[in-house]
Structures are given as C-alpha cells and as structure tokens.
C-alpha cells in the first residue's frame, strides 16, 4: 500500500536529481570537449554554444543586479485605444428615407432634363 501524506518521509525535494543532472551533464560536456580537442570538428558547436549561453546569461544577471525582496520592474504602457475610435466616422449624414408614394424612391432614378438649345455638346439637334 502507498504511504499517506503524513507517513511520507521528508526528502530533499529532488536535490539528488539536480546534483545527478549537474554531474552527468558535466561529464558529457567534458567528453564532447575531449572529442573536439582530439580533432572531431563536428563537436565544436556542442562545446562553444553552451559556453556562450552560460556567459550571456551570467552577463545578463550581472547587468540586472540583485532583486532580493523587490518586485519585478513594471513598464509604463499607454492605455489601449478603443476600437470604435479607429473606425472612420461618416463624413456625410445618411439621407432621410423617401415618402412611400414617390416614384423616384421606387427605383426610377433621378429625372434628367434634356438640353433644349441647339449646339450644346452631346446633342444631335
């Protein structure tokens, strides 16, 4: 049967596995570095990239400084713009609805007066 919460033995919360990971990782890294030193050039990225990452993370920690007990920095951002202000407002108000009995409103279209004088452009008179 399994142990209940009260019966469990207090352990080091995974500290053994953390130490094991560090030891195994360092041994593997040393082996790859030895292979690179022996002339296996394909191991070069496996040696250089982790070292560069460790240096960059360490430099970032040095630049940011200690933050013991202080909250993370908050950046001032402007308030979000409402979507309604991004839409263009209509320039011309909509036309009022036409009366129900008007033929122009029924789809006849606007009435165009014909040119009555001769000699206007576009006329045959």
For the chain, the domains span 15-64
Mean pLDDT, residues 46-69 taken together = 86
pLDDT at 92: 64
Question: Residues 14, 20, 60, 49: what is their CA dihedral angle, to the nearest 10 degrees?
Answer: -140
pLDDT of residue 38 exceeding 80: yes
The larger pLDDT score, comparing residue 19 to residue 78, is at: 19
- Between CA 16 and CA 24 the distance in angstroms is 12
Q: With CA atoms as reference, report the closest residue to 115 among 125, 100, 101.
A: 125
Q: What predicted TM-score, i.e. pTM, was given to this entire model? A: 0.41
pLDDT at 75: 72
Structure tokens at 26: 């360092």
pLDDT of residue 36 exceeding 90: yes
8 Å CB contact between 48 and 55: no
pLDDT at 119: 57
DSSP annotation of 83 reads: G
pLDDT of residue 32 exceeding 90: yes
């Amino acid at each position: 049967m399994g142990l209940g919460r009260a019966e469990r033995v207090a352990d080091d919360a995974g500290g053994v596995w953390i130490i094991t990971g560090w030891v195994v990782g360092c041994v593997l890294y040393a082996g790859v570095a030895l292979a690179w030193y022996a002339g296996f050039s394909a191991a070069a990225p496996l040696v250089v990239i982790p070292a560069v990452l460790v240096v960059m993370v360490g430099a970032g920690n040095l630049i940011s400084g200690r933050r013991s007990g202080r909250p993370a920095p908050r950046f001032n951002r402007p308030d979000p713009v409402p979507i309604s202000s991004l839409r263009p407002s209509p320039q011309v108000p909509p036309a009022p609805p036409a009366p129900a009995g008007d033929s122009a409103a029924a789809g006849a279209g606007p009435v165009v007066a014909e040119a009555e004088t001769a000699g206007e452009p576009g006329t045959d008179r």
